[in-house]
Homo-oligomer: A and B are copies of this chain.
């Protein structure tokens, strides 16, 4: 009997690959021919994991900590995360509401799965982190991207949420600091949106994956406004643990049992060595390293934003967090995908096209990540200057 390969589900037509991956593949080809490539496309800090965390991970392995933890994570880690909310943000979080996940990805999967019925809608900003749409689509929910621009710092507002809420709307997802724009949701806006969501009996999901990586004001968490919110966080960015795959979800108390059920069934538990390693993230030694790195990111931002503006990119809102600049390249192109490839071929500078983040004005925008050294950023800007002028 001839082999018949299975067809795939309809959702796969709506789940896009990261376009930047094609560009990255081309960058690797160019690098293989000896070309010098400057990576300003990567959403991963260039620092490797801080030494105290690595040491704790190695120690845990030496002690044979290789079995499963309980589904919600090591009690000591859940308590350490809660203690950190209290100590650094003055917010009281029940450790019992913290579920440790394989990366923030795991947390986003759980939040979408616990909340979304098929056909129900979740409002989110366009542009946004591309996977957000796909977690929703995966469980047959619908992501409704609301076009946002510089006038609202690329964030939703209470007015926008109210205006777009309909009978099918179930949830709102915010990100602060946001990828790709690096902007924050001001506390008053957060509170306004929270009240609208409450009035509609909906759910609020706040992506705080870049929490702590802010440069102009203290980091605020949505948990400060109450426990009726799903907060997604990560050890990847501020804590520099990308490859370990560790994050967490703070769930509203009545939803914790359901989140735990999903965690047990879909993921079993987060990686054990990573959980033991992360216990060292809350030590003064580790925190000093994070602070030093935060200042380095700030210095890069403070160089990059004016430098990009000087060569003709418009950066309408100063990014206040994460490590991204979302730059309007409309002086050079209205097809930023082709533009990114041209820039790569001609200059060796790799940047991410706007279409990876949504549809609204995506052809005008590109994202620069300052996840490389100040020297490399300077070199990249010089190359762009020569190419564009």
Binding site for B on A (CB under 8 A): 1-12, 15-18, 21, 44, 48-49, 54, 57-58, 61-62, 64-69, 102-103, 105-106, 109, 113-118, 120, 130-131, 134-135, 138-140, 171, 195, 198-199, 201-203, 226-228, 240-245, 252-255, 257-258, 260-262, 264-274
Please determine whether A116 and B228 come into contact, CB atoms closer than 8 angstroms: no
- Which residues on the B side are within 8 Å of A105 (C-beta)? 266-268
Cα distance A139–B117 when bound, in Å? 10
Taking A8-B114, A139-B140 as known contacts, 5 extra A-B pairs with beta carbons closer than 8 A to each other, sorted by chain A number, are: A9-B115, A15-B261, A58-B58, A66-B243, A243-B271
Cα distance A236–B192 when bound, in Å? 47
- Which residues on the B side are within 8 Å of A139 (C-beta)? 9, 11, 138-140
Please determine whether A243 and B17 come into contact, CB atoms closer than 8 angstroms: no
Please determine whether B9 and A245 come into contact, CB atoms closer than 8 angstroms: no
Please determine whether A228 and B5 come into contact, CB atoms closer than 8 angstroms: yes
Looking across the interface, which residue of chain B has its beta carbon closest to that of A171?
B6
Please determine whether B264 and A17 come into contact, CB atoms closer than 8 angstroms: yes
- Which residues on the B side are within 8 Å of A10 (C-beta)? 117
- Which residues on the B side are within 8 Å of A62 (C-beta)? 54, 58
Chain B: minimal CB distance from A250 (Å): 13
Please determine whether A243 and B68 come into contact, CB atoms closer than 8 angstroms: yes
Cα distance A114–B1 when bound, in Å? 24
The number of times this chain is found in the oligomer is 2
Cα distance A10–B228 when bound, in Å? 19
Per a CB cutoff under 8 Å, which of B116, B134, B261, B267 touches A265? B134
> Contacts A6-B171, A199-B1, A244-B272; is A266 near B67 (CB within 8 Å)?
no
Per a CB cutoff under 8 Å, which of B68, B202, B266 touches A134? B266
Please determine whether A67 and B242 come into contact, CB atoms closer than 8 angstroms: yes
Looking across the interface, which residue of chain B has its beta carbon closest to that of A59?
B58
- Which residues on the B side are within 8 Å of A131 (C-beta)? 264-266
The 9 closest A-B pairs by CB, nearest first: A243-B272, A6-B203, A49-B66, A134-B265, A48-B64, A245-B271, A3-B228, A5-B254, A271-B271
- Which residues on the B side are within 8 Å of A267 (C-beta)? 102-103, 105-106, 245
Per a CB cutoff under 8 Å, which of B5, B120, B202, B268 touches A253? B5
Please determine whether A9 and B116 come into contact, CB atoms closer than 8 angstroms: yes
Please determine whether A244 and B268 come into contact, CB atoms closer than 8 angstroms: no
Chain B: minimal CB distance from A61 (Å): 5
- Which residues on the B side are within 8 Å of A8 (C-beta)? 114-115, 255, 258
Considering residues A16, A103, A134, A271, which has the most beta carbons from chain B within 10 angstroms of its beta carbon? A271
Please determine whether A57 and B273 come into contact, CB atoms closer than 8 angstroms: yes
- Which residues on the B side are within 8 Å of A272 (C-beta)? 243-245
Cα distance A290–B54 when bound, in Å? 28
